[in-house]
Every structure is written in structure tokens, then in C-alpha cells.
Chains A and B, each alone.
Chain A
């Protein structure tokens, strides 16, 4: 499973990537949308884990940009805010998006990632 992590909190996203790696999940990370798009250009990912509030661009917009390049990718949103607006906006997006509030337990996250990939596997 190949996962792209995007969050402006580098400390968080780097650590998370390392921990996922330890669990056999191939995780790459970016702290802004440019690097994220760059990574998408050069590598294949199954799932992207996006912060809802990124500098310069919201997670939702980034999702659409990535989706344009990689239509098969799945997305999970991660937020520290959990506000109604964020929730509404993310929920309004089609597909099986997930919405997680920080901090998130690594076991919960891994379970969620597996669930999405299996869903994809069943369909694919």
C-alpha cells in the first residue's frame, strides 16, 4: 500500500510517515501542495491523507488537483479543528472519504487505510 501524507506540520507528518513505514506501509510525505503534486507526478499512490487546512490551498482543492492526475486514488481528510464547516465541506465530496480528527491513533489510521485499500481491491 502506498500512502501520501500532506500536512504543514512537518514534525507530525514525518513522524507519521516513519511509523507507517515501520508497519509495512509505503508512506511519503509533503508539507505543502507543491511538493505533494510533485510527488504525485513522479510516484504512484493508493491513498492520500490530507490536512483540511493547508497553507495557500485547502485540502479539498488539493484533493481535486490530485484526483485530476490520479483518478483512482482514495482520500482521507485529517483535521485538528473538527468544525461544522470543514465537516460539511469534506462530507459533501463524493466517494468514500474519511474524516479524522487529530490526534489519531496509529492503529485506527492503519485500520482505516486497510479498509479503503481492501474496498478498492474488492472492486478492482
Chain B
């Protein structure tokens, strides 16, 4: 797991910031990385969250108002059904009281017949009774034995009686009454519809019919209510009139406050007596003491919505996770790219610095060499002349000692000349210059500088560059630098003794030269191998290594259009493999021809 992270961990996170000088990075990468992640996430996620919240609220409200509307519609429909149910019965009684005389109604058989007819025409009727103006029930037909009962003390009778006393109205509403549901003499919940009529003498009498509340229950339950809906009647005192699912028995007290009067259907939201969120729709049923109440429980109604909301939330979380992952990935990738570009910039800066330094040394050495070369040439010629004189003139022939001295001068001059020539060569090679060159000669030139150290440290050098390797176009100076660096590197890896082997071969297609530089040194551990060409990577920090040598080598090989690779085994040695193309740049290649014939 840790290894996995190490592999994917971007390099810039390990980068230690340098604060000054040419080594300074352009950016603080860790901060850049963090900032870009935070800003991108903010820009992406804030609108997403805002939209999600807004959408959630809007949908919730829409659904809620839809729920309220549905409830309103349901209440209105129910009210209409109830009103027409009750009106039908009031009209029927009214018809009967108009169609029959008091005497007819007072006839027991006739009344029984009427009840039978009513039952067959309008469904279940409980009973039927006729009450005279004193409030006494003068005729009755039905299951109970309540003939002769005095109703004058009962509320519904008083109310109807009062209505009649107050004023005479032709309106049926004023001559009829629908009672609350009550237990009455029969001790079962029922309601009573009464219709009042005045006879020719102006005395009123009342036809009253008892109705079972089962039919009301049937109407109320006929409307399909969602799972936890409840539709029932209460009266204006808050007494429950028909059966409810949650709010107590018939004739019990409705646990919630009686809603205020309104002519139209109303819907209110709130909590019920046990704390459930509910939507209550109600309507006052005109001409009756009833209030139609429809209670719906919000949580079950909104349940489906919450399921949808849940999956939306899940989707949102998924999106956020995906966005975070993508933003994290992209930011890391981009910052890492910038980091690598910056590292390259630093590396090339160092390389330029290095090249500058070498060029300065080159100019200096060329100047010195030139200044020394002229007097050296004079010494050379003068000494040569002396030697010539000894050789060509007989009189000096015998003086072997003088001849020896002159020869010593000349050989010293030769040594000086060799040094100045090397200096001039070095200076010339520092300039960018593509020319035709022989790999063997480049390698020999390099080893010439190293041969002393090699013999001093008993390092054997084996060079195997076959004659079949053709001359090719490249930059002599850069190539020399490559081999100098690699040879130095090999020497640094080897203690006393050891072997440095340089081998070359052509690739199978003959387009490139593969050169291996192998040492028998200490080798490089695998974890260092992948970093070996990075600038400033050094294992020689204690001994003055800059960590630039191999990165410059890498840069030089790359500039020459070649590839460099490394293989190493700890304890067995390291091999650098350089592949150089035979063709450098076609446009520069002709330049090299003019160098042929160089002497010295």
C-alpha cells in the first residue's frame, strides 16, 4: 500500500523549496497544487450544492402544494357527496310530509308502509316517527319501542321549534334539521333528520327519521385514501361523529382544536395530538352541525418523495466523489507537468552555466596557448638550427654532449607543444560544432586525460571499438564531454583496481552506434537508478559531488539525438548504454567535411 502510494506520489510533493539563486523554482508547487485543487473544487462544487439545495427545496414545495391541492379536492368531493346524501333524505322526508296528511302519517300502518318504501328507494333507514306540536311522538315505526316519547326537551326539537317560532320560511333549510350524532333513547350512535310542517290550523308537526351512521361511514371510506389517511365528521363542539382510524371513538372528543368556520374548503398543516406531521382538510357542511375533516399524514405521503430524494442525494454524493477524484487527478497531473518543466528549465540553466564556464576556460586556455606558441616556435627553430648545424657541419660533429643538450631542449619544446595543442583542441571543442568524427578517436582523446589516474589506481581500461564503426556526424566537444563524465563516474565507482570497458557496435539496421561504458565498481541500488539522471541527485554529497554530471551527460546525449540508459547491479558494476544516430542533422552535416586534413 505504502509502496503503491510512493510510486504514484507526485515528485513535487517531495521537492524541497530553494529560496534563492538560479536554483530557485518558479513556483511553490505544493501550494500551487493545493490552491488549484481548492479553487477548482470550490468553483465546481459550490454551484452544484446550490443547485441541489434549490432543486430540493423547490421540488419539496411543489410536492407539498400538490398534496394540499389534492387534499382540498378530496375534501370538496367528499363534502359534495355528503351534502347530496343528506339533501336526498331531507327532500324525501319533505315530500312525504307534503304528500301525506297528518292523519295519514299518524296511521301506524301507513307509516310502516312509508318506511318500507323509503328503505327500498333510499337504502337503509332506521326508523320513522311523527311528533306533534307538543313534542310528543304520536306515531313510530322502527326497531325500538319509543312511541309516546316526549322530545320537547331535546336540542334538535328545540332548535326546529325555535326556527319555526322565529319566522316562517318557505325554505326547506329552515324547516328541516339534521341532528348531531347522538346515542338517544336507543343508546346507539345515530343521527336524526327532521322536517317540520304546519297544518291548516297553523300547528306544526314534525316527521323525523333516524339514520344509521354506517352509511356516512361508507361514503367517507368510499373515497380512497392513501395508507394513513383518515376522513370523518365532527360536530362544531368537536365531538367525533363517524368512525376514525386514529382520533378516538364515535362520540369521543376530537383531540385537535375545532377548525374555525369557513364557507370554503380549507387545508391546514400542523401536528396532531401525538406529534405526527399532518395535513388537515376540512369543510363545514351547510345546514348540518357537521364538519368534514380529512387528515393525511405527511411522512407517508412524502415517503415516495424521500426515496427519490435519497437516491438524488446518493447521486450527489457520487458526483462529488467523482468530481473530487477527477479534480485531484487533473491538478496533480498538471502541477506535476509544470514541476517537471520547471525542473528541466533548472537543468538546462545549469547546463548553460556549465557550458559558459567551460567556454570561458576554453577562451583563456586558447589565449595562453597562443601567446606561448610563438616564443615556443622560436625556441624550437633556434634549437633546431643548432641541431641542424651539428648534423650538417662537420666541425661540430664530435661534440656529442652539446648535441644531447640541444636534443633535450627540442624534446621539451615538443612536450610544451603537446600541452598547448591539447589546450587549443579543448577550446575548439567547446563550441557547438557538428563535424564528421571517428568515435574511436573521441574515446582515445578522452582516455588520454584519464590514463594517468587509471594507472595510478591500477584500473585496467579496455577499449573495443571495431574498425567497421564508420565515421559519423556529431559534436565532438559534446561527445567528449559525455565520455569524460561517464569515465569519471566509472572511476568514482571503483576503488583500487577494477576494469573499465568501452565497447561499440552498430545496431542491426546500421542506423546508430551503441556504445557501452561498463565499470566493475560498487553499482547503484535499484531505488537510485530511476533518479540517476535527475539534476542534483547525488550519492556523493559528502565528497563534493554536484549531482549534475550525469544529468548534463543525459542532456548532452539527448541534444546529440541519442539515448542513454543504465543497468546496474550492486557490487558487480554499472553499465551505461549510449545509442547515437549515425546521422545528426542533414542540414549541418556538410560542415564537417571541411575539417578533413587537420594536422596537429
Contact = CB atoms under 8 A, between A and B. Distances in A.
Interface of A: 9, 11-12, 15-16, 18-19, 22, 80-84, 87-88, 91-92, 98-106, 108, 112
A102 B379 CA distance: 11
Contacts of A18: 385, 388
B373 A101 contact: yes
Given A83-B370, A98-B599, 5 more contacts: A12-B378, A15-B378, A19-B385, A80-B371, A103-B417
B373 A9 contact: no
Contacts of A12: 374, 377-378, 381
B594 interface: yes
Q: Which 5 A-B pairs have the closest CB atoms?
A: A80-B373, A103-B380, A102-B377, A82-B424, A103-B377
B436 to A, nearest CB: 13
Contact of B598 (A16, A99, A104, A105): A99
B136 interface: no
B138 to A, nearest CB: 146
26 contacts: A9-B374, A12-B374, A15-B381, A15-B382, A15-B384, A18-B388, A22-B392, A82-B424, A82-B428, A82-B600, A83-B424, A84-B428, A84-B433, A87-B598, A91-B594, A91-B595, A98-B597, A100-B600, A101-B373, A101-B424, A102-B373, A103-B377, A103-B417, A104-B377, A106-B384, A112-B599
A84 B431 contact: yes
A101 B600 contact: yes
Contacts of B385: 15, 18-19
B209 interface: no
Interface string B359-376: 000000010011101101
Nearest to B600: A101
A12 B375 CA distance: 9
Contacts, number: 94
B181 interface: no
Given A9-B377, A11-B378, A82-B370, A99 B427 contact: no
Contacts of A87: 428, 595, 598
Nearest to A107: B384
B421 interface: yes
A43 to B, nearest CB: 22
A80 B600 CA distance: 12
B413 interface: yes
A81 B428 contact: no
B378 A9 contact: yes
Contacts of A112: 599
A99 B388 CA distance: 24
Contact of A102 (B374, B382, B392, B427): B374
Contacts of A99: 597-599
- Residue of A81, A87, A98, A102 with most partner-chain B CB within 10 A: A102
A83 B385 CA distance: 28
A83 B427 CA distance: 8
Contacts of A9: 374, 377-378
Contacts of A83: 366, 370, 424, 427-428
B424 A16 contact: no
A102 B598 contact: no
A80 B377 CA distance: 8
A103 B599 contact: no
Contacts of B370: 80-83
A15 B373 CA distance: 16
A23 to B, nearest CB: 8
A28 to B, nearest CB: 16
A97 to B, nearest CB: 8
Contacts of A84: 427-428, 431, 433
Given A11-B378, A16-B381, A103 B594 contact: no
B381 A19 contact: yes
Contacts of A102: 373-374, 376-377, 380
- Centre residue among A102, A103, A112 by max chain B CB count within 10 A: A103
Contacts of A98: 597, 599
A100 B598 CA distance: 8
A45 B563 CA distance: 54
Contact of B421 (A82, A88, A91): A82
Contacts of B421: 82, 101
Nearest to A93: B594
Contacts of B428: 82-84, 87
Contacts of B431: 84
Nearest to A81: B370
Contact of B388 (A22, A80, A92): A22
Contacts of A11: 378, 381-382
A100 B600 CA distance: 7
A53 to B, nearest CB: 9
Contacts of B594: 88, 91-92
Nearest to B591: A88
Contacts of A16: 381
Contact of B374 (A15, A80, A91, A92): A80
A16 B388 CA distance: 11
Contacts of A91: 594-595, 597
Nearest to A11: B378
A50 to B, nearest CB: 14
B599 A100 contact: yes
A101 B425 CA distance: 11
- Most chain B Cβ neighbours within 10 Å, of A22, A80, A99: A80
A85 B369 CA distance: 15
A19 B380 CA distance: 11
Contacts of B600: 82, 100-101, 104
A99 to B, nearest CB: 7
Contacts of B366: 81-83
B421 to A, nearest CB: 6
Contacts of B595: 87, 91
A98 B413 CA distance: 22
A19 B384 CA distance: 8
